[in-house]
Amino acid sequence: MAFFRIGVFQFAPAFGEVDKNLARVEKAVEASERADLVVLPELFATGYQFVSHAEVGKLAEPVPGGPTTQFLLRLAKERCCVVVGGLAEKDGEAVYNAAVSVGSNGVLALYRKIHLFAEETVWFRPGDRPLPVFEARGTRVGIMVCFDWRFPEAARTLTLRGTDILAHPANLVHPHCPDAMVTRSLENRVFSATANRTGAEERGGKEKISFTGRSQVVSPEGERLIAMDAEEENFRVVEIDPALARDKHVTPQNDILRDRRPEFYER
């Protein structure tokens, strides 16, 4: 299996300034070495702290017709890569906290976050589709969004569906996720790429939200191949061997998928 390059972009999107945020992504990706897969944060084009349904409705976009997906399609074509990024998706009257995956030939997957966090439950409908796995250059990429990390079932389901790399757009506010994602990688023997945002938002008289940064790429052995700090704004790329995620052995006798005992996991 060929080597594969994963890039993660950590930055502080400006709330509501979609054009500016898209331009920042473009500049960072263009200035960097090429990646096969680029992972961007959750809600990277809009920012996070919405204050009204009208605001969410105005900033949410249809997929693939909206400006953010169209921008990602152009970026994917120009850079010959696949991009996964989080966005507010509008489908008729419904608005979802979604993540889209696009390649040079179009949209590969659309995921609507199934575990909404805190006030997201006010603004978004819960996801209504399965956790998706798609193929990029022979490598299988699964998508989960931010708070999905608290539910080990999400990463395990993606693993059982054949994922080699967990693409994980995030807007994290709790400190435990980077360590938990090391465990998600270890317990599933998959790579994980968490693209978190940094900075803070304090809008409409609401409590300030500080985002925790520390974006990372973790190997199936639990090694951090990229580890950003809490504040840096950076696009970093690492080369991996996806074949490592296809070998589920942890000892010659133990294969962590084959050794599962689902008959004992029923309640």
Residue whose CB is less far from ligand ACM, 52 or 121: 121
CA–CA distances in Å: residue 80 to residues 66, 77, 83, 103, 195: 21, 5, 10, 8, 20
147 binds ligand ACM (CB under 6 A): yes
Residue whose CB is less far from ligand ACM, 173 or 225: 173
25 binds ligand ACM (CB under 6 A): no
The number of CA neighbours under 13 Å toward the Cβ of 134 is 20
Site pattern 81..120 for ligand ACM (x: CB under 6 A): ------------------------------------x---
9 binds ligand ACM (CB under 6 A): no
Is 119 one of the annotated active-site residues of the chain?
Answer: no
171 binds ligand ACM (CB under 6 A): yes
Residue whose CB is less far from ligand ACM, 35 or 172: 172
Distance in angstroms (rounded) separating the CA atoms of residues 60 and 231:
27
Least distance (Å) from ligand ACM to the CB of residue 120?
7
Residues 194-253 that bind ligand ACM (CB under 6 A): none
Distance in angstroms (rounded) separating the CA atoms of residues 71 and 85:
11
Which residues are within 8 A (CB) of 71 and not within 5 positions of it... i.e. 6 or more apart? 22, 25, 26, 45
The dihedral through the CA atoms of 43, 45, 51, 56 has a sign that is: negative
CA–CA distances in Å: residue 62 to residues 39, 40, 98: 20, 18, 11
Q: Which stretch binds ligand ACM (CB under 6 A): 2-10, 55-63, 165-173, 257-265?
A: 165-173
The number of CA neighbours under 13 Å toward the Cβ of 165 is 35
Q: Which stretch binds ligand ACM (CB under 6 A): 15-23, 60-68, 168-176, 197-205?
A: 168-176
50 binds ligand ACM (CB under 6 A): no
| Annotated catalytic residue, options 113, 120, 177, 201 | 113
Residue 254 amino acid letter: N
146 binds ligand ACM (CB under 6 A): yes
CA proximity to 224, closest of 253, 263, 184: 184
Applying CB under 6 A, the site for ligand ACM has a residue count of 7
22 binds ligand ACM (CB under 6 A): no
172 binds ligand ACM (CB under 6 A): yes
Is 42 one of the annotated active-site residues of the chain?
Answer: yes
| Annotated catalytic residue, options 42, 61, 89, 201 | 42
Q: Angle 219-42-121 (CA atoms, 0-180°, nearest 5)?
A: 120
Query: Residue with structure tokens 């409908």?
Result: 125
Q: Which residues are catalytic?
A: 42, 113, 146
Binding region for ligand ACM (CB under 6 A): 42, 117, 146-147, 171-173
